[in-house]
Amino acid sequence: MNTTNATNATNAVNAVNAADRSGQPLPARVRRALFTGDHAVEAGLNWSQQEIWALIAKSAPHDHVYNVVEEFRVPAAARPTEDECVDALSFFLSRHEALRSVFPEGPDGRVVQRVLTEGYMPVEFVDTPTTDGGETEALKAFFATRRFAFADELPQRLVLLVTNGRVWGGVYVFSHMAVDWYALQHLADEVTRYFRNGRTLPPLPAGTQTSAGLAAWQESPAGIRKRDRTLAHVTSLYRDRRPLALPPAVVDLPDEAAYRQAALRSHAAHHAAARIAEDTGLSVAAVLVGATSLLLRDLTGSDRVDLHLTSSQRFGRDSRTTVATLMQETYFSVDLADADLPQAVRRSWLSAITAFQNSGCDADSMNRLLAELGDGPDAPLRFPYCVNDRRTLPADTAVRRDLSAAGMLPRTTLTWLPVTEQEPFYLIVDDGEGDGEPGGAYLEFSLTCDIRHVTEAGMETFLRRLEHSLVTLADSDRDRDRDSDRDLVPDPDSAPAP
């Protein structure tokens, strides 16, 4: 583990040096963040890790696509010293089992999770002449294609950038084997509170779930009952029919040339979805799934829409703040015959609740069932449409009802991105804070498609129709509310004389 981490850190420095505009090597130091744990643990993978591991194995040697690589900056007033950063890393490595776990093969050849009781994580400190951030792009580009050595490497890497003895930013990498998006959000919140509270945090609440503990529970009678309930749910949906199919192929392309990825960033959709959620009393997630499902009905001509959704699996107090990967695919199906968008939102909400209540299963059992429902192990039941809602911002507490969603449409941008996952239809929903202006927050819809079935023009049309459907409904409700308010104000010309 230690040798692998140190080699990656050294290579990362070389990447920064190669990108330094002055042509001069940047001073760098590798330091060790030591950690200790209460006990050693070795357990099988939990169900979420099993799903991730299957994706990693399938995509090898390109499994780096399942890493999370991001840059970050530290506010000028809060920049720590190197020693403070090393101490912080030691604190969090010791605090969270997932951050000090490796994934070797067990005696039976299956991958296991092994929680270490002691060790260290090498962290790279790179001295930079300024804080303009020119080095971060080189680091992100370097890490974006680097695989983890799962058997002996900790599941995260870190390079910190230093100017005048203070850390002002850096780049981190996490493997999805250790954390999911919610875990990263919670960890970021903890790091912020750690530095604000004098470099300390209260102990984790008693009973906080761990990845290894969850794996053990999933093998218990209660876990087996949950597994069987999920299998029964999937069987009830697809015993007599196949999931929604892709449209017929329109072009013939080799696999390596068949995928495109587009991203539509929309302030208008963010405002519209929040407005619709407020008006319906449902969640923004339900609004987005309903709108997506309705468009898929129109795209395919099928009233029944089937999706793979992602369930956070963070329903209990003991798991809401767990730093681990807990996400599970869940099986969603909704009948949208004769539905308009408000009806699609309500029906999708009910179907999603059913799906989430019946989610959670080990990979082997689900694979056997999908083979039985399909045409065997080589042709199992497949679900080509996937939606992953990765939004992290808290829901709006109050929507600006005076704003027109359509008025924000000129700020919408659509870009084509490098393909990160070869999926037939994969919609990811992210969000962002925006620029601080009214309506500054935005939604970003990233759509990956197999263009043999959904062309590039079709992808753009789908994204823009998704935005348009939300905006149209939100503004029609806004206009109706405004007209109703106007009706409540007496017309002075028709008012009776005093």
Q: Tens digits of per-residue pLDDT, 459-471?
A: 999 999 999 999 9
Residues 360-368 have a mean pLDDT of 96
Query: What local confidence, expressed as pLDDT, does residue 487 receive?
Result: 44
Lowest mean pLDDT among 64-68, 325-329, 458-462: 64-68
Domain assignment present for 228: no
Does the pLDDT value for residue 15 go beyond 80? no
- Tell which wins on pLDDT, 289 or 131: 289
**For the purposes of burial, counting CB atoms within 10 Å of the CB of 152, is it exposed (0-12), middle (13-18) or buried (19 or more)?**
middle
Same domain, 127 and 22: yes
Residues 471 and 353 in one domain: yes
Strand locations in 288-390 (E) = 304-311, 328-335, 385-389
- Number of domains within the chain: 2
Model confidence band, residue 131 (pLDDT cutoffs 50, 70, 90): confident
Q: Mean pLDDT throughout 35-42?
A: 92
Higher pLDDT, 348 or 439: 348
Q: What pLDDT, on the 0 to 100 scale, is given for residue 479?
A: 61
pLDDT, tens only, 178-189: 999 889 999 999
Q: Decide if pLDDT at 6 tops 70.
A: no
Q: Residues 352, 459: one domain?
A: yes
- First and final C-alpha spacing in the chain: 88
* Of 70-84, 361-375, 390-404, minimum mean pLDDT range: 390-404
In a shared domain, residues 197 and 250: no
Q: pLDDT higher for 313 or 112?
A: 112
> Residue 492 pLDDT more than 70?
no
Tell whether 178 and 302 lie within a shared domain.
no
Q: Are residues 283 and 177 in the same domain?
A: no
* Mean pLDDT score, 385-397: 76
> How far is residue 164's CA from residue 158's CA, in Å, rounded to a whole number?
20
121 within some domain: yes
pLDDT tens per residue across span 106-116: 888 899 999 99
Residues 184 and 293 in one domain: no
> Is the residue at 208 inside a domain?
no
Q: Compute φ and ψ for 101, nearest 5 degrees.
A: -115, 150
In a domain? residue 209:
no
Beta strands (DSSP E) in 103-228 are: 112-115, 118-127, 156-163, 166-175
Q: Does residue 31 sit in the same domain as residue 128?
A: yes
Task: Look at strands 425-432 and 385-389 and give their pairing.
Answer: parallel
- What is this structure's pTM? 0.85
Residue 452's pLDDT is what?
97
Residue 272 and residue 189 share a domain: no
Q: What's the chain's length in residues?
A: 498
Those residues with Cβ within 8 angstroms of residue 235's Cβ, 6 or more apart along the chain or in another chain: 369, 373
Which secondary-structure segment (H or E) carries 442?
Answer: strand 442-450
Mean pLDDT score of the chain, rounded to an integer? 88
pLDDT bin (cut points 50, 70, 90) of residue 498 is very low
Helix (H) or strand (E) holding 34: strand 28-36
Residue 322, in any domain of the structure: yes
The helix (H) or strand (E) run that includes residue 458 is helix 456-487
Q: Do 189 and 267 belong to one domain?
A: no
For residue 321, what is the domain's CATH number?
3.30.559.30
Q: Rounded CA gap, 438 and 435, in Å? A: 9
d(CA 387, CA 310): 7
Is the separation of the CB atoms in 156 and 178 below 8 Å? yes
> How confident is residue 166, by pLDDT bands cut at 50, 70 and 90?
very high
**CA atoms within a 13 Å half-sphere pointing along the CA-CB vector of 195:** 19
Half-sphere exposure of 333 (CA within 13 A, CB side): 16
Query: Of the candidates 181, 185, 186, which has an alpha carbon nearest to the alpha carbon of residue 208?
Result: 186
Query: What is the radius of gyration, based on Cα positions, of the chain?
Result: 25
Question: Does 496 map to a domain?
Answer: no
> What is d(CA 360, CA 311) in angstroms, rounded to the nearest whole number?
9
- Domain end residue (candidates: 178, 201, 224): 201
The burial of 237, by beta-carbon neighbours within 10 Å (0-12 exposed, 13-18 middle, 19 or more buried), is given as buried
Same domain, 25 and 122: yes
The residue range of the domain holding 281 is 233-483
CATH number at residue 73: 3.30.559.10
pLDDT of 490 strictly over 50: no
Residue 145 and residue 53 share a domain: yes
Q: What percent of the chain has pLDDT over 90?
A: 70
